[in-house]
């Protein structure tokens, strides 16, 4: 099985537990305005690599990955679900921790063939890092070009399969930092039983240079980076929503 790879990071430390070999796959249907890897959107370009080639790269430095493993990210790795499945199955045979970094946008609750493939992948997946961009569906569509319905359905699917999740949310000034939406994101997360961590990340504009190099207009030109303090405040609001959901408190933002 051959995957279409954008790049490989040999020593990632923010893409799952421990030090990791991070495989960036090509292709993504989302067009997030704050995406810092627009060069992963299209399938064109990149390098074809086999599962064996990636596993060999990991094994060559296995001692450095103690407590870590392999993360498949992108782009959207689930666009190449067959390849990721074979990669993770081979990794599990070698006792390598596997992590899937995804938006969940490809989820198809009414597609039996797709669900069978996803079930097979989840059988060899130790952790899913799930990006929830915006809990409000209309604002999510404006931000990414897609509804969030499939993403939230995917989160509930993971929960039903008892797959551990880390939820990530990027806080963008004026786009994803409003208190009602942050709180409601917390309420949603609080309804799930398998969320093991919450990463609230401040938006940065370091990807702007890449857009310029690709001859692309930067969608958030003029939007200031979010401060670390702003991200901490946002996380507190999300945590309050999680707490209230689990305590069955009324939602102050629902009429």
- If you search the block for the tokens 């103690």, which residue do you land on? 66
- Mapped onto helix, strand or coil, the DSSP state of residue 6 is strand
Residues 19-31, mean pLDDT to the nearest whole number: 97
- 73 closest CA partner among 138, 165, 9, 154: 9
Does 21 score more than 70 pLDDT?
Answer: yes
Residues 29-36, mean pLDDT to the nearest whole number: 94
Q: Which pLDDT score, from 0 to 100, does residue 52 have?
A: 98
Residues 6+ apart with CB under 8 A from 178: none
d(CA 57, CA 85): 18
Residues 6+ apart with CB under 8 A from 172: 33, 34, 203, 220, 223, 226
Q: Which pLDDT score, from 0 to 100, does residue 254 have?
A: 82
- If you search the block for the tokens 């959901």, which residue do you land on? 245
Strands 2-12 and 69-73: unpaired
Model pTM score: 0.96
Angle between helices 81-93 and 112-122 (to 10 degrees): 30
The overall average pLDDT reported for the chain is 96
Q: Which pLDDT score, from 0 to 100, does residue 131 have?
A: 96
23: which strand partners?
A: 8, 72
Tokens found for residue 137: 């569906």
Q: Residue 45 — pLDDT band, cuts 50, 70, 90?
A: confident
Does 153 score more than 90 pLDDT?
Answer: yes
Strands 195-202 and 165-171: parallel
Does 245 score more than 80 pLDDT?
Answer: yes
Tokens found for residue 205: 């504009």
Instruction: Dump pLDDT digits (tens) for 47-71.
Output: 999 999 999 999 999 999 989 999 9
Instruction: Dump pLDDT digits (tens) for 86-123.
Output: 999 999 999 999 999 999 999 999 999 999 999 999 99
Q: Which pLDDT score, from 0 to 100, does residue 85 have?
A: 98
- If you search the block for the tokens 């996380």, which residue do you land on? 235
d(CA 72, CA 102): 8
Backbone angles phi, psi at 79, to 5 degrees: -70, -20
Q: Which pLDDT score, from 0 to 100, does residue 17 have?
A: 95
Q: Which pLDDT score, from 0 to 100, does residue 255 have?
A: 60
Q: Residue 42 — pLDDT band, cuts 50, 70, 90?
A: very high
């Amino acid at each position: 099985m051959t995957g279409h790879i954008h790049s490989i990071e040999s020593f990632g430390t923010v893409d799952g537990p421990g030090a990791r070999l991070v495989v960036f796959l090509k292709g993504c249907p989302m067009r997030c305005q704050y995406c810092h890897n627009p060069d992963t959107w299209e399938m064109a370009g990149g390098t074809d690599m086999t599962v064996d080639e990636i596993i060999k790269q990991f094994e060559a430095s296995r001692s450095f990955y103690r407590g870590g493993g392999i993360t498949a990210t992108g782009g959207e790795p689930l666009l190449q679900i067959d390849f990721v499945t074979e990669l993770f199955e081979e990794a599990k045979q070698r006792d390598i921790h596997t992590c899937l970094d995804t938006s969940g946008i490809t989820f198809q609750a009414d597609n039996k063939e797709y669900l069978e493939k996803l079930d097979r992948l989840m059988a060899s997946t130790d952790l899913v890092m799930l990006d929830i961009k915006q809990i409000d569906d209309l604002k999510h569509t404006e931000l990414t070009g897609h509804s969030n319905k499939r993403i939230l359905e995917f989160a509930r699917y993971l929960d039903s399969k008892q797959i551990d999740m880390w939820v990530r949310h990027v806080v963008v000034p004026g786009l994803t930092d409003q208190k009602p939406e942050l709180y409601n994101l917390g309420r949603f997360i609080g309804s799930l039983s398998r969320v093991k961590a919450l990463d609230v990340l401040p938006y940065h504009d370091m990807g702007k240079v890449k857009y310029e190099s690709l001859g692309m207009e930067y969608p958030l030109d003029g939007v200031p980076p979010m401060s670390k303090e702003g991200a901490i405040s946002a996380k507190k609001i999300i945590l309050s929503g999680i707490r209230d959901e689990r305590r069955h408190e009324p939602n102050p933002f629902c009429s």
